[in-house]
């Protein structure tokens, strides 16, 4: 969970990256990073090398990570007189300061109106970790939108991935959990309206090309860049990894970049927690395309229009609703489970008597009403009020009890979830069909990822046996 300051930082960072520095305005040095948690034990901490000179200057360095996409650092060696910050470029023989030697301006990302729309296919890639059944946070944060996008007919290809390999990065000791949840997540997809005729549903580990891409991309990302990822930081804290962070988990933003770019996705519909991943993917694309031939496509995140839906809190009111936190209302919950969870939900602790004025801020019941309530639910379930604003006004001035609001929310959520649950029960009778859908989808996904991997290898000129060999 990032606090709002941290979120502002991310958004600013994203904005800054979208307006890269020009020559007239040299890049502002980043303010010293405040590390709010130890990501590594001492042995892992980056030791500043004497004169901060990289051992192998062709690799991205801790200093180079100040620039988001600077893998192609000029080769440099210290000058003979050993001046601290001046290096000789081994190619040009000229002297360069360290800043010149390490700073490669990122390529300018294309603006909205600069994409060659007519040529570029519109492709969606998104997915979920099979760590549990999907919950209402997924529904408002991502699933509902996916279904709308799928049915809009505006997209050429839609890939929806069950990210089992990613789920294993923090569940290595429990592959059974991941296995069990493959069909659960697929059932949730189908019950929400994802249609295998229109959207390609697949399993990540069945597309081995994704792993290979991850390996090549990992050379374009520095450790300190990964350490700065606020979502990964908070997830590490949440999972209590302390110093024992699995490398796979730490580097999962790179694997997500592989997932997105393998399908040349232009659009990634996600919740807010995924913004830093998207930014990392965009950096990798820019870095790759400047270092090698330009073959990768820079993706864009598509957040829910309703801000609350970008990060729906859990029923405990504290964190984001998350499978790993056990604070969820699942899409498959039975009506009685939903009712119980709502009736025990967090409201305003100072709203003790009905006549007390109540607070809306941090009041999860109202947050959920903001996310789920439609105008038509008032005449149906709470005709004393015209709309949500009236209900909120009454609560704020006092005289409206929590139980009444909770009962209304219960009716709203039951109405939203009943058709989803009914479709799920039908699909539950057809598990072999569900698995066939995933198997076929994985084949289609693999074919597309293999095409991209070929492009990537050709662009890096590591396609030794399929290309002009005169220089070998
Ligand atoms: P885990 O705890 O295993 O990480 P999760 O509940 O966070 O599970 P993911 O599979 O990581 O779910 O997320 C899948 C997608 O759903 C992502 O796009 C994420 O942004 C979105 N999402 C997850 N939780 C929420 C939430 N509470 N509100 C809005 N969107 C969410
Ligand atoms: Mg998650």
Residue with CA at minimum distance from ligand 1 atom 18: 270
Q: Is there an atom of ligand 1 within 6 Å of 71 CB?
A: no
The percent of residues above 90 in pLDDT, for the chain, comes to: 63
Question: How far lies 104's CA from each of 64, 220, 388, 434, in Å?
Answer: 9, 13, 52, 48
| Ligand closest in space to the Cα of 320 | 1
HSE (side-chain half, CA atoms, 13 Å) at 345: 31
d(CA 168, CA 249): 8
Pick the closest to residue 250 from 269, 268, 273, 231 (CA basis): 231
Q: Is there an atom of ligand 1 within 6 Å of 364 CB?
A: no
User: For 61-75, 116-130, 363-377, which range has the lowest pLDDT when averaged over its residues?
Assistant: 61-75
Question: Model confidence over 331-355: pLDDT tens digits?
Answer: 999 999 999 999 999 898 889 899 9
d(CA 302, CA 275): 9
**What pLDDT shows up at residue 71?**
39
**Is residue 40 very low, low, confident or very high in pLDDT (cuts 50, 70, 90)?**
very low
3-state SS assignment for residue 111: coil
User: For 114-128, 213-227, 304-318, which range has the lowest pLDDT when averaged over its residues?
Assistant: 114-128
* Per-residue b or e along 60-95, where b marks 16 or more CB atoms closer than 10 Å to that residue's CB: bbbbbbbbbbbbebbebeeeeeeeeebbbbeeeeee
**What pLDDT shows up at residue 270?**
86
Cβ-contact 227, 39 below 8 angstroms = yes
CA–centroid distance, residue 211 to ligand 2 (Å): 20
Q: Is there an atom of ligand 1 within 6 Å of 316 CB?
A: no
A 10 A CB-CB count for 109 gives 16
Query: Kindly report the CA angle at 29 between 280 and 215, in degrees rounded to 5?
Result: 25
For residue 41, pLDDT over 80 is answered with no
The percent of residues above 70 in pLDDT, for the chain, comes to: 75
Q: Is there an atom of ligand 1 within 6 Å of 147 CB?
A: no
CA–centroid distance, residue 137 to ligand 1 (Å): 7
Residue with CA at minimum distance from ligand 1 atom 23: 138
Q: Is there an atom of ligand 1 within 6 Å of 371 CB?
A: no
Ligand 1 mutation pick, 135, 259, 268, 273, max ligand atoms within 8 A of CB: 273
d(CA 143, CA 148): 9
DSSP 133: -
CA–centroid distance, residue 266 to ligand 1 (Å): 20
Q: How far is CA 346 from the centre of its chain?
A: 27
**What pLDDT shows up at residue 9?**
56
Q: Is there an atom of ligand 1 within 6 Å of 146 CB?
A: no
Question: How far lies 172's CA from each of 32, 37, 155, 245, 320, in Å?
Answer: 35, 23, 35, 12, 23
Residue with CA at minimum distance from ligand 1 atom 6: 322
d(CA 102, CA 72): 9
CA–centroid distance, residue 128 to ligand 2 (Å): 8
Atom of ligand 1 nearest to the CA of 170: 3
DSSP 271: -
Question: Model confidence over 210-262: pLDDT tens digits?
Answer: 999 999 999 999 999 999 999 999 888 888 887 799 999 999 999 999 999 99
**What pLDDT shows up at residue 329?**
96
Cβ-contact 396, 358 below 8 angstroms = yes
CA–centroid distance, residue 311 to ligand 1 (Å): 8
Tokens of 465: 């046996």
Q: Is there an atom of ligand 1 within 6 Å of 141 CB?
A: yes
CA–centroid distance, residue 322 to ligand 1 (Å): 6
Cβ-contact 265, 124 below 8 angstroms = yes
Atom of ligand 1 nearest to the CA of 129: 10
470: Cβ contacts below 8 Å, ≥ 6 apart: none
User: For 19-23, 64-68, 287-291, 456-460, which range has the lowest pLDDT when averaged over its residues?
Assistant: 19-23
* Per-residue b or e along 395-412, where b marks 16 or more CB atoms closer than 10 Å to that residue's CB: beeeebbbeebbbbbbeb
For residue 88, pLDDT over 70 is answered with no
**What pLDDT shows up at residue 324?**
74
CA–centroid distance, residue 191 to ligand 1 (Å): 18
Ligand 1 mutation pick, 132, 142, 240, max ligand atoms within 8 A of CB: 142
A 10 A CB-CB count for 450 gives 15
Annotate 391-439 with DSSP letters as a single string: HHHHHHHS---HHHHHHHHHHHHHHHHHHHHHHHHHHHTTHHHHHHHHH
Residue with CA at minimum distance from ligand 1 atom 25: 137
Atom of ligand 1 nearest to the CA of 313: 27
């Amino acid at each position: 969970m990032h606090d709002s300051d941290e979120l502002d930082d991310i958004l600013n960072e994203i904005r800054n990256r979208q307006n890269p520095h020009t020559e007239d305005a040299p890049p502002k040095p980043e303010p010293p990073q405040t590390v709010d948690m130890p990501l590594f034990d001492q042995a892992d901490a980056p030791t500043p090398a004497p004169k901060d000179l990289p051992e192998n200057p062709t690799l991205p360095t801790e200093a180079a990570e100040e620039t988001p996409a600077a893998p192609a650092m000029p080769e440099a060696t210290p000058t003979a007189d050993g001046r601290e910050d001046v290096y000789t470029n081994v190619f040009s023989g000229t002297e360069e300061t360290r800043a010149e030697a390490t700073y490669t301006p990122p390529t300018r990302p294309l603006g909205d109106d600069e994409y060659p729309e007519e040529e570029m296919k519109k492709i969606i890639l998104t997915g979920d970790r099979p760590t549990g059944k999907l919950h209402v946070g997924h529904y408002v944060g991502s699933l509902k939108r996916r279904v709308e996008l799928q049915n809009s007919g505006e997209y050429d290809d839609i890939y929806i991935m069950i990210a089992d390999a990613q789920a294993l990065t923090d569940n290595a000791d429990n592959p059974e959990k991941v296995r069990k949840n493959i069909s659960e997540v697929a059932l949730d997809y189908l019950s929400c309206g994802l249609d295998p005729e229109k959207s390609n549903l697949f399993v990540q580990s069945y597309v081995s090309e994704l792993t290979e891409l991850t390996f090549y991309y990992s050379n374009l990302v520095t450790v300190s860049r990964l350490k700065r990822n606020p979502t990964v930081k908070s997830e590490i804290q949440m999972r209590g990894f302390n110093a024992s962070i699995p490398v796979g988990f730490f580097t999962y933003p790179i694997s997500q970049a592989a997932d997105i770019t393998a399908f040349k996705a232009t659009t990634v519909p996600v919740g807010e927690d995924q913004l830093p991943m998207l930014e990392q993917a965009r950096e990798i694309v820019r870095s790759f395309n400047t270092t090698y031939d330009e073959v990768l496509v820079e993706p864009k995140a598509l957040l829910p229009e309703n801000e609350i839906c970008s990060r729906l809190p859990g029923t405990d009111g504290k964190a984001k609703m998350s499978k790993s936190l056990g604070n969820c209302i699942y899409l498959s919950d039975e009506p009685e489970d939903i009712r119980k969870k709502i009736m025990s939900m967090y409201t305003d602790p100072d709203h003790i008597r009905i006549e007390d004025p109540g607070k809306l801020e941090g009041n999860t019941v109202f947050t959920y009403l903001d996310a789920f309530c439609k105008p038509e639910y008032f005449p149906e379930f709470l005709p004393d009020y015209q709309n949500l604003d009236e209900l909120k006004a009454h609560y704020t001035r006092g005289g409206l009890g929590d139980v009444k609001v909770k009962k209304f929310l219960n009716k709203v959520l039951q109405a939203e979830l009943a058709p989803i649950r009914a479709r799920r029960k039908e699909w539950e009778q057809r598990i072999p069909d569900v698995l066939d859908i995933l198997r076929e989808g994985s084949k289609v996904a693999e074919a597309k990822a293999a095409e991209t991997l070929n492009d990537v290898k050709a662009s890096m000129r590591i396609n030794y046996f399929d290309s002009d060999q005169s220089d070998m």
